[in-house]
Amino acid sequence: NAGVMQNPRHLVRRRGQEARLRCSPVKGHSHVYWYRQLPEEGLKFMVYLQKENIIDESGMPKERFSAEFPKEGPSILRIQQVVRGDSAAYFCASSPEKGKSPLHFGNGTRLTVT
Amino acid sequence: GQSLEQPSEVTAVEGAIVQINCTYQTSGFYGLSWYQQHDGGAPTFLSYNALDGLEETGRFSSFLSRSDSYGYLLLQELQMKDSASYFCAAYGQNFVFGPGTRLSVLP
């Protein structure tokens, strides 16, 4: 079974452009979490989605950021009009059920805004 | 809200035992988990405690006390490859991670 697949692995964007980060969870997993990590820092929760629904987006900025997990296809984290402060590693994780199973992480997308 | 606290750094020598503590505040608590992350890598799952007590997995053990909102990760027979960051994570309304403890294992 393939693990969590994230792409691209590295993404460079100029200020003002849009960034789209993709995450394909482990097959059969319907719970997806997105985290942001700055160098030398912890994993900051952004959003929790279950197929077609946003369950908790309390960690995601209200402006410029959006996330989706459609019935078919990968979960997408979208950042519009990127700024230098958006530069970070973005990790996606999936689990088969809420609260009882470990999270399986992807290798992350390193976003650099120039 | 949810928050977790853990020491920022721990240093130990090869072969030693080290304990990394974690205290948490969260609503709807299911359990406490531990993850390891090497520099530039993805977090990987180490252990999960849903009930009070000690869980042992090889050289690693994890403990939970729900009444004290406290847990720890115990690493025995430390090896150089154990140098990494270790995160506790509370499973509640969602998964919230602590700030991480950077473990340095010295020869």
pLDDT in 10s for each residue of chain B, 107 residues: 678 999 999 999 999 999 999 999 987 888 999 999 999 899 999 999 999 999 998 999 999 999 999 999 999 999 999 999 999 999 877 788 999 999 999 99
Chain B residue at shortest CA distance from A48 = B94
Q: Is A41 on the interface with B (CB under 8 A)?
A: yes
CB contacts of B96 in chain A (<8 Å) are 45
Whether residue B43 and residue A102 make contact (CB cut-off 8 A), yes or no, is no
* Least Cα separation, residue B93 to chain A (angstroms): 8
* Burial (0-12, 13-18, 19+ Cβ within 10 Å), A27: exposed
Which among A103, A106, A108 is the nearest to B95, CB-wise? A103
Per residue in A25-46, pLDDT (tens digit) is: 999 899 999 999 998 888 999 9
Confidence of residue A65 (pLDDT cuts 50, 70, 90): very high
